[in-house]
Structure 1
Amino acid sequence: MTIPVFYAISDDFTKYAAVSLNSLVKNAADDKDYTVYFLSQDLSAQHKQDLQEIGSSNVHVKFFKINDEIVAPIQNRTENYLRADFFTMSIFYRLFIPDLFPQYDKAIYIDSDTIVNDDIGKLYDTELGKHLFAACTDSSIQFVTKMVAYIEDVLVLDPKKYINSGMLVLNCKAFRDENFIDHFMRLLSKYHFDCIAPDQDYLNEIGDKRILHLDPKWDAMPNDNTEPLTNPSLIHYNLFFKPWHFKNVQYEEYFWKSAKETKFYNDLLTELNTYTDKQRDEDRHKLDHMLAKEDKTINDPYNWANVKKQGPVSL
């Protein structure tokens, strides 16, 4: 039996994904077998080779090209923008994993801006039961007033149960049996919900009441409001807490330890040292831009809250 793990990347994110993959390989159990898939539309031959070279005798690295037909219904529209400032199809790839890989009844998805400090196989051992997927509460937004208001008033969900989609244990069989993708596509095309976090909001809404919440150590996120977790199993450098752009980021030592073991270490150091204060300031203000959506969506007659008032048939 192999443990399937999925990343979704664009070609320019390869060096960060390589650091994550290296950490996964280093912590993989010797007595287990893993297959890591990179989902992409534009991965170069050189970058495929770079990633394959990080694999090991029991961590097999493979690639899957997402063709345009699969994701055609997802349009480059403002409601699908990531961080409210640009469109990237890759954030939606994770939703298609169960249908694209029918040989798996369960799978793990992780973002590429992560570090794995424990055996990822332990996540795979999670008993999902009738849950649609397992994930961790999004700790990065618990102290962001506008985001909490958005979750409560626009999504009509409990912020303490709102999960981050950067780490998922997917019940692939349930996704297929319940036609998750058909449901997602219908909602997407019918309502064009204006989302702060597009793929994540849909997962929280469709999975509401059927999400298994895991120990936060499996999606530890840097923030300025809490002390770091001791021995986090998986670190997710979410939002703008990127150690390759900012210094003194919480948990940065884990990233640089793994980075040093990859061919991209010097490139990443150069990126950090040449990233300007102006760029850092712009990054911080992107969060304000993203949160400005809350003011707009609260008055949208077709936001999640208003559609929910029409009853379950609407959703």
Structure 2
Amino acid sequence: MSVAMQSIMENASPKRRYCFFILQQNLSSENQEKLLNQVVAFPQFSLSFIDVKQYLKSYAFKIREEDKICYTAETFFRLLLPWILADYDKALYFDGDTVCRIDVAEIFDLDLQDKLLAAVREFHGAAWYYKPNKTHNQSKKIYNEVLANLQQKDDYFQAGVLLWNLAGFREDWSIEKLLTLAVSKIWRLVDQDVLNFIAENKTLLLPAKYNYTVLFSELVKYLPKYLQEEYYEAGKDPKIIHYKPWDSLAYIQHFEFFWQYAVKSPFLKIIIANMKAKDLILTTPLHRHIRKCGWKFLLKCLFSREF
């Protein structure tokens, strides 16, 4: 999150005002102070911490046991934005594993008209959806009830970068109604599924360059041609990069931009320690990793990326 904030601040216009809102329930006072000190260097920015406990007392979000390694209940917090930010008509949401290379005002200034959200398609999900001859385990793993039931399957979007029509949400939904829907079942892709379910045909679809996530090339080939072209074009010069470093032991495309901002984060030592713990930064000889994972797996990772 700190790295994402640094990238946003460095690319922002000095002539505009920006407000960070961090939704949290257990963020330590020490970490809050570090983030506040980080923001102080940019006078056009302010930072507020919002404790969401008061909104969630009667709700328990359901996440599949096997998915808890990827998702926590905090991912549902973004559903609260229209009511937490009751004095605002629009807001931008970013996942913490993103890096912005543009002034975010470029997205904020878009005219949503009657749309509830602006977002980028979920290219990864679309590729798996179109992949033929999936094994039973693959189908079970990536099956997505919401995507499968959309009128336009290609329009399922990724919720890591969102422009919210907060006023429009408040007109169409109450916080009680939305949270009741969110806890009514186990959603395969948690709050992202919830938003796709309620915002079908009410989403302004943005080009892939505004939320670019690296895919294995073996998946990209299953996308419809027009989505392939959009994806490859975005990869040449992405404006917002959504990193998934835990997905790979191989080269991570555009990761140099992550480090460009990470080295200025007050959490740099923690970032490096976490990466070492996940073997994303090798601290043991490569032959030991080969022995552990096997040559075939390692070569598959190395040669299935688009460089």
Shorter chain as denominator, the TM-score bin is 0.7 to 0.9
Residues in 1 aligned to 2:71 and 2:277: alpha-carbon distance in whole angstroms: 25
Q: CA 1:148/1:162 → structure 2, altered by over 3 Å: closer, same or farther?
A: farther
Show the counterpart of 2:299. Answer: none
Residues in 1 aligned to 2:186 and 2:148: alpha-carbon distance in whole angstroms: 10
Q: Deviations over 1:93-129 (max 9, x none)?
A: 1111111111100001110011011001111101000
2:55 partner letter: I
Residues in 2 aligned to 1:82 and 1:101: alpha-carbon distance in whole angstroms: 33
Residues in 1 aligned to 2:111 and 2:175: alpha-carbon distance in whole angstroms: 23
Q: TM-score, normalised by structure 1?
A: 0.73
1:224 partner letter: F
Matched, 1:269 2:272: yes
Gaps of 5+ in 2: 130-138, 221-231, 280-288, 294-307
Q: CA 1:47/1:135 → structure 2, altered by over 3 Å: closer, same or farther?
A: same
1:153 deviates by: 7.1
Please say if residues 147 and 156 of structure 2, whose CA atoms lie closer than 8 Å, have aligned partners that are also in contact: no
Please say if residues 138 and 163 of structure 1, whose CA atoms lie closer than 8 Å, have aligned partners that are also in contact: yes
Show the counterpart of 2:113. Answer: 129
Matched, 1:61 2:61: no
* The one of 206, 212, 216 aligned to 2:204: 212
For structure 1, which segment, 112-121 or 171-180, has the greater mean C-alpha deviation from structure 2 after superposition?
171-180
1:203-282 to 2 correspondence within 5 Å? Answer: 203-225=195-217, 227=232, 229-238=235-244, 240-241=246-247, 246=249, 248-276=251-279
Q: CA 1:194/1:241 → structure 2, altered by over 3 Å: closer, same or farther?
A: same
* The one of 163, 170, 187 aligned to 1:169: 163
Please say if residues 19 and 46 of structure 2, whose CA atoms lie closer than 8 Å, have aligned partners that are also in contact: yes
Please say if residues 137 and 161 of structure 1, whose CA atoms lie closer than 8 Å, have aligned partners that are also in contact: yes
Q: Is the radius of gyration larger for structure 1 or structure 2?
A: 2
1:252 deviates by: 1.1
1:265 deviates by: 2.4
Show the counterpart of 2:192. Answer: 200
Q: CA 1:82/1:51 → structure 2, altered by over 3 Å: closer, same or farther?
A: farther
For structure 1, which segment, 86-95 or 159-168, has the greater mean C-alpha deviation from structure 2 after superposition?
86-95
Please say if residues 84 and 196 of structure 1, whose CA atoms lie closer than 8 Å, have aligned partners that are also in contact: no
Count of paired positions: 257
Gaps of 5+ in 1: 1-16, 282-315
1:200 partner letter: Q
Q: Secondary structure at the match of 1:54?
A: helix
Show the counterpart of 1:13. Answer: none
* The one of 147, 154, 157 aligned to 1:160: 154
* The one of 8, 13, 19 aligned to 1:35: 19
Structure 1 runs, 4 residues or longer, greater than 6 Å off? none
* The one of 49, 56, 64 aligned to 1:71: 56
Show the counterpart of 2:284. Answer: none
Residues in 2 aligned to 1:139 and 1:153: alpha-carbon distance in whole angstroms: 12
Please say if residues 150 and 200 of structure 2, whose CA atoms lie closer than 8 Å, have aligned partners that are also in contact: no
1:272 deviates by: 2.3
Matched, 1:111 2:79: no
Residues in 1 aligned to 2:66 and 2:163: alpha-carbon distance in whole angstroms: 22
Give the alignment's Cα RMSD to 1 decimal: 2.7
Q: CA 1:85/1:262 → structure 2, altered by over 3 Å: closer, same or farther?
A: closer
Please say if residues 140 and 238 of structure 1, whose CA atoms lie closer than 8 Å, have aligned partners that are also in contact: no
1:101 partner letter: L
Residues in 2 aligned to 1:153 and 1:214: alpha-carbon distance in whole angstroms: 18
